């Protein structure tokens, strides 16, 4: 079977043809047993060139949205949209992994397969909740008649049984302005004695909206309200809603398809948006006080969060983006997709901040440190500050600088450039010459992303996590983040080069290897 993807770039029409595995079964054979057998037989054939070292991934095949992210019986469980049979998107299963620390992940058997009439075209995204000691997952069943919401239950957190009452929500439960073909991504939670779920639907006017339902038992649901309606500028459809309370505010995070560009914001075809405000639970309506793009890099989508036993709100996202070519599929690596580093959320000045989970510090080794180094119209390297996998943490004083730049994962011909313009106060990540070219449908197609970042006392702090094919940049303590995938083609691409136009004082610099 051949999957044809088309990307439209001004004056250029790019057709990408990917040959899928001949081992892919017929739709009638899409069972959990068949999927697990295929994984066992083929996962050792996956190429390791760009495989990530400390991020959650599938053993083989394609993954996208994180699903069912939950802390259950002392461990973190992460499910995900999964096609084990090929490195391109196809009929979705739920893959599954668990971790004790959000850094070391253990592969588990496939949790759900599209083996029922109501989910025959895919077990789409959803969430998890604990009830009476059991793990319940609520997911979208995709079928030729539309999208419906379904429940599966597990005694051990690994093996699931779909309930006989499925689907528990269907087209008859939608408001009159909703399209049943686009009704998905339930995120379930408990408040007081009731269970609630937020889902999304496309309206008849081609905009997104978040729907709110309530239940006493997770099986019988009642439509509560349209929690929030989108505008034309906020995309033609919303996905992956997540509603939670954080530091006395209500937070709604969702992913918007074709969000309109605004300045430096929303430059990917699809974007993740945070809405901060208050929910009136009697009316089931959200009053929004602030709106912001959650991550300004190239590859961050479909977030989902959990609350753990330490009362931390932790979010994770798919570290790719729709509307792009996927280098690992093109290069026949046997896999596509990974998750971001999990991040702890807080509020500051009315907006979300993201910081890497504290547990990653336990994986930092071979630390190299420098202090109070001055660069004046020059470039330079630091001894032992180099590598493909590690963490770079630095604070720079830019009072007398015009431009400060870091070249990451550099070699003779390739590099990814992170630069700060002290006049415009803009931070830019540019992967134009990072390696394998990534084509996309953005108009215009730009392989750089930028964000305005004010300084604090003329200082800029950067925490940069490097993995085999990813960069995650936390700016000024997580006030901003930029997440990007890169695919260098040279055998070694470990150089980290620093450059200053004008005078830059590197107050502190620390480079650590990340070793699991």
Residues with catalytic function: 65
Angle at 422 between CA 420 and CA 426, to 5 degrees: 50
For the four alpha carbons of 333, 303, 90 and 123, in that order, the dihedral sign comes to positive
d(CA 7, CA 470): 23
List, in sequence order, every beta strand (DSSP E) within 230-312.
237-246, 249-257, 270-280, 285-293, 301-307
- Dig out the tokens for 223 from the structure: 């439509």
d(CA 163, CA 150): 8
d(CA 338, CA 259): 23
d(CA 461, CA 395): 4
* Local structure of 71: helix, strand or coil: strand
Ramachandran angles phi, psi of 180, nearest 5°: -65, -20
For the four alpha carbons of 81, 85, 86 and 87, in that order, the dihedral sign comes to positive
Q: Which of 248, 239, 246, 241 is nearest to 227 (CA)?
A: 241
d(CA 58, CA 81): 10
- Indicate left, alpha or beta for 73 from its phi (over 0: left) and psi (-120 to 50: alpha): left
- Dig out the tokens for 126 from the structure: 């959803």
28, burial (CB in 10 Å: exposed 0-12, middle 13-18, buried 19+):
exposed
Q: 384 with 370: CB under 8 angstroms?
A: no
DSSP string covering 206-248, please?
S-EEEEEEEESSSSSEEEEEEEEE--GGG-SEEEEEEEEEETT
Angle at 69 between CA 115 and CA 155, to 5 degrees: 60
């Amino acid at each position: 079977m051949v999957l044809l993807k088309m990307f439209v770039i001004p004056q250029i029409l790019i057709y990408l043809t990917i040959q899928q595995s001949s081992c892919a079964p017929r739709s009638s054979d899409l069972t959990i047993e068949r999927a697990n057998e295929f994984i066992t037989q083929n996962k050792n054939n996956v190429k390791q060139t760009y495989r990530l070292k400390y991020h959650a991934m599938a053993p083989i095949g394609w993954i996208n949205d994180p699903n069912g992210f939950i802390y259950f019986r002392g461990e973190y469980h992460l499910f995900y949209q999964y096609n084990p049979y090929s490195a391109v998107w196809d009929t979705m299963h739920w893959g599954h992994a668990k971790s004790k620390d959000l850094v070391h992940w253990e592969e588990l058997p496939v949790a759900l397969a599209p083996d029922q009439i109501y989910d025959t075209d895919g077990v789409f995204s959803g969430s998890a909740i604990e009830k009476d000691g059991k793990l319940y997952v609520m997911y979208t069943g995709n079928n030729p008649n539309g999208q419906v919401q379904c429940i599966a239950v597990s005694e051990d957190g690994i093996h699931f049984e779909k309930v006989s009452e499925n689907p528990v929500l269907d087209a008859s439960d939608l408001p009159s302005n909703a399209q049943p073909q686009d009704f998905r991504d339930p995120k379930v939670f408990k408040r007081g004695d009731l269970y609630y779920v937020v889902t999304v639907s496309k309206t008849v006017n081609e905009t997104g909206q978040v729907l709110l339902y309530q239940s006493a038992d997770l099986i019988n649901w009642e439509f509560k309200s349209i929690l929030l309606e989108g505008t034309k500028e906020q995309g033609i459809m919303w996905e992956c809603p997540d509603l939670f309370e954080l530091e006395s505010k209500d937070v709604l995070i969702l992913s918007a398809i074709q969000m309109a560009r605004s300045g430096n914001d929303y430059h990917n075809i699809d974007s993740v948006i945070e809405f901060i405000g208050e929910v009136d639970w009697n009316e089931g309506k959200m009053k929004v006080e602030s709106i912001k793009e959650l991550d300004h890099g190239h590859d961050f989508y479909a977030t989902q969060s959990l609350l753990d036993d330490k009362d931390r709100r932790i979010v994770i996202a798919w570290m790719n983006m729709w509307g792009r070519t996927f280098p690992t599929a093109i290069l026949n690596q046997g896999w596509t997709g990974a998750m971001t580093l999990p991040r702890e959320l807080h509020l500051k000045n009315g907006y979300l901040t993201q910081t890497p989970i504290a547990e990653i510090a336990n994986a930092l080794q071979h630390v190299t440190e420098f202090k109070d180094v001055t660069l004046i119209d020059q470039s330079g390297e630091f001894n032992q500050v180099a590598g493909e996998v590690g963490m770079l943490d630095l604070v720079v004083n830019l009072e007398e600088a015009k431009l400060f730049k870091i070249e990451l994962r550099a070699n003779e011909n390739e590099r990814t450039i992170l630069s700060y313009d002290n006049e415009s106060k803009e931070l830019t990540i540019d992967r134009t010459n990072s390696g394998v070219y990534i084509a996309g449908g953005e108009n215009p197609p730009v392989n750089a992303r930028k964000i305005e970042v004010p300084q604090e006392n003329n200082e800029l702090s950067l925490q940069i996590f490097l993995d085999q094919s990813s960069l995650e940049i936390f700016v000024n303590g997580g006030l901003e983040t930029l997440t990007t995938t890169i695919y260098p083609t040279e055998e070694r691409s470990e150089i980290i080069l620093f450059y200053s136009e004008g005078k830059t004082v590197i107050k502190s610099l620390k480079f650590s290897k990340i070793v699991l």
